[in-house]
Structure 1
């Protein structure tokens, strides 16, 4: 009887004891799951950090001093040609003023020489004689007109020198008409046409050379 009890107790103890192999497999499964979860968390963290790093790299950095330098350079580029053009126009106007004074002096001297040679510069309409001061004033007026034409062509024309020559030669030819229609004697008519040629000889070549210089 005692032997049977001992055998049954042994068999019960053997059935109730846990299997060491089964317990180790369960532990390994739980460890693998934890390791997989940890790897996934690490992957998520790595991808988030990479995205953050990309955003930081792409973010533009403003540099105020470069913007200031660019604005200064742009203003210099814009202001440069404008100031140069103004300087050229003023220079041409100065040359025209000097040429005008030279033309007035030349025509007045030529008229004085013509009077000394016997030309009376008398116009039949009213019987008045043209004074030397009147010749100088008329020469100065039309010389200033020629200077204004030269400045305007330099400002707005692509070929100012060529257009100036054609324009002034045409005007000089037209200026010969009033002396021919005045009814004055041959000496006076010839002298007046000669005075127009003297003024044109002074003004046209001077302004044409100045236009060539400032255009090239």
Structure 2
């Protein structure tokens, strides 16, 4: 019995802090808005790195809004800025759902996944934009959502009214 006890302690000590139960409990103690801000910052960084990789492999970063006569360059930092700008509504939604929804995590996931799917209409309809750029734009929406939605949903699942 005493032989296995040190092995158990070694395994427990070597586990990563990000997956430990204490870090999950710490997430549950943070305000929903703060978890949202942290998730958005992470999503913005990951999305910008994705865009920089796309630039690096030669995808043109020129896009036009509907009605525009020509495409304009998407600046470095533009993807991160877009994630931050549009995700603020997600934080508001999460805070509102935490306060009034019966099942805030489930409702948040359903609404945000639907909005992410809807957001892909923008890149698909972008005139004067290369197809490769449209694909990168659409995938960047999914990348940001894949980072932000699970973090906020996990926090909302821990929420107690």
1:173 lines up with 2:113 in the alignment? no
Select 1:198's aligned residue among 119, 132, 143. 143
1:106 lines up with 2:52 in the alignment? no
Q: 1:89 to 1:105 in 2, by over 3 A?
A: same
Cα distance in structure 1, aligned partners of 2:83 and 2:160: 27
Name which one, 1 or 2, has greater alpha-carbon Rg: 1
Cα distance in structure 2, aligned partners of 1:206 and 1:166: 14
1 or 2, which has the higher helix percentage?
1
Give the match for residue 103 of structure 2.
159
RMSD: 1.8
TM-score, length of structure 2 as denominator length:
0.75
Q: 1:92: Cα distance to partner?
A: 1.0
Cα distance in structure 1, aligned partners of 2:75 and 2:60: 10
Q: 1:89: Cα distance to partner?
A: 9.4
1:207 lines up with 2:152 in the alignment? yes
Displacement over 3 Å in runs of 4+: none
Deviations 1:91-121 (A, max 9, x none): 1111111001101111111110000011112
Give the match for residue 75 of structure 2.
131
SS in 1 for 2:53: helix
Cα distance in structure 2, aligned partners of 1:203 and 1:127: 29
Give the match for residue 97 of structure 1.
37
Give the match for residue 61 of structure 2.
121
- 1:139-158 equivalences under 5 Å are 139-158=83-102
* Larger relative contact order (Cα-Cα within 8 Å, sequence gap ≥ 6): 2
Deviations 1:108-149 (A, max 9, x none): 111100000111121254231111222211110122211110
Cα distance in structure 2, aligned partners of 1:185 and 1:106: 23
TM-score, length of structure 1 as denominator length:
0.56
SS in 2 for 1:119: coil
